[in-house]
């Protein structure tokens, strides 16, 4: 046996020993369950249900609420006068006369824009050009819907002035409205979630940023998944990222076993909803709450019937 072969065998044996040792002494560290995440499966209206009404407007939120959603999935940005508003894009392009970035306008200026001007319904009509659809602040959303689950996605980058202020301002509003047990705070930027939690101190459910997702998926695909210690409470995911599928039953189970529910976006198709729920998903984030709410309710009834028949 050559020296290279002996070296390779020695390395393999050492790796196997390390894996066995870590498996024996390290146990998966489950997250403590947060109140807002106890109900499952849930239906969250993406930006208020963006295919039914102008996204992030009170018209959309009220329509979704009437349809029976469990909550809303919203994006937030900071205005020029440092008010937190529900809005996705950095640049305003959904109004008849609004140009520039959200950060360039005061709340009063933004309230003068019609954010439903370009919205089209499924028939290609513009039903909101004659009725003003205003931008909504986070405070207004808390006041209007005091019991709703709200998933809050910080959009301002931590490298910007607005982004540097957002974690502390967001925490103060959540604390003011005593909304700690009915919100999830997340961001594409994992750093924003970490900075927010410096104020929240795990009193608010945290969603996974891109870095958290990468770490979890890497742990899942390796032999050292038992070493993964999550620092967030829920994952909101697309079904695919590049060439990687993120909706497999095994990956969902890997997270569920750590007490981390998985919600998928943006799901408007009933067949896909059924597949995800069957795979173990705990939430559907949708632009079509009119489709998702009755489908998920029916799915839950079917699961209950199956359980009773198996007794």
Q: What is the pLDDT along the chain (311 residues), one digit of tens a residue?
A: 555 454 444 444 434 434 344 444 445 567 788 999 999 999 999 999 999 999 999 999 999 999 999 999 999 999 999 999 999 987 787 766 667 899 999 999 999 999 988 898 888 888 988 888 999 999 999 999 999 999 999 999 999 999 999 999 999 999 999 999 999 999 999 999 999 999 999 999 999 999 999 999 999 988 765 678 899 999 999 999 878 899 999 999 999 999 999 999 999 999 999 999 999 999 999 999 999 999 999 999 998 887 767 76
| pLDDT for res 31 | 77
> What would the two tokens of residue 248 be?
């497999």
| CB burial readout 179-197, b (16+ within 10 A) else e | bbebbbbbbbbbbbbbbbb
Is 3.40.50.300 the CATH classification of the domain at 30-309?
no
Q: Do 85 and 136 meet the contact criterion of CB atoms below 8 Å apart?
A: yes
Q: How far is CA 16 from the centre of its chain?
A: 37
Task: State phi, psi for 242 to the nearest 5 degrees.
Answer: 65, -125
Q: Tell me the β-bridge partners of 302.
A: none
């Amino acid at each position: 046996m050559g020296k290279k072969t002996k070296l390779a065998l020695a390395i393999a044996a050492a790796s196997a020993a390390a894996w066995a040792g870590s498996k024996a002494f390290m146990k998966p560290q489950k997250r403590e369950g947060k109140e807002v995440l106890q109900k499952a499966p849930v239906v969250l209206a993406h930006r208020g249900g963006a295919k039914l009404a102008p996204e992030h407007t009170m018209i959309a939120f009220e329509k979704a609420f009437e349809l029976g959603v469990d909550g809303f999935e919203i994006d937030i940005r900071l205005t020029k006068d440092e008010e937190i508003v529900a809005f996705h894009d950095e640049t305003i392009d959904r109004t008849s006369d609004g140009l520039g970035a959200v950060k360039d306008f005061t709340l009063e200026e933004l309230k003068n824009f019609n954010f439903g001007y370009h919205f089209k319904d499924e028939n290609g009509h513009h039903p909101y050009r004659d009725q003003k659809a205003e931008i909504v602040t986070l405070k207004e959303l808390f006041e209007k819907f005091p019991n709703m689950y709200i998933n809050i996605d910080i959009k301002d980058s931590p490298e910007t002035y607005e982004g540097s202020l957002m974690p502390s301002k967001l925490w103060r509003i959540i604390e003011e409205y005593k909304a700690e047990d009915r919100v999830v705070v997340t961001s594409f930027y994992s750093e924003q979630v970490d900075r927010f939690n410096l104020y929240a101190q795990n009193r608010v459910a945290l969603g996974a940023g891109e870095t958290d997702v990468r770490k979890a998926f890497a742990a899942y695909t390796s032999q050292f998944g038992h070493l993964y210690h999550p620092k967030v409470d829920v994952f909101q995911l697309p079904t695919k990222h590049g060439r990687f599928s993120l909706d497999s039953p095994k990956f969902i189970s890997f997270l569920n076993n750590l007490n981390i529910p998985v919600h998928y976006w943006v799901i408007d198709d009933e067949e896909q909803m059924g597949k995800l729920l069957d795979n173990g998903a705990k939430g559907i984030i949708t632009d079509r709450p009119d489709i998702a709410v009755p489908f998920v309710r029916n799915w839950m009834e079917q699961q209950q019937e199956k359980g009773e028949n198996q007794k």
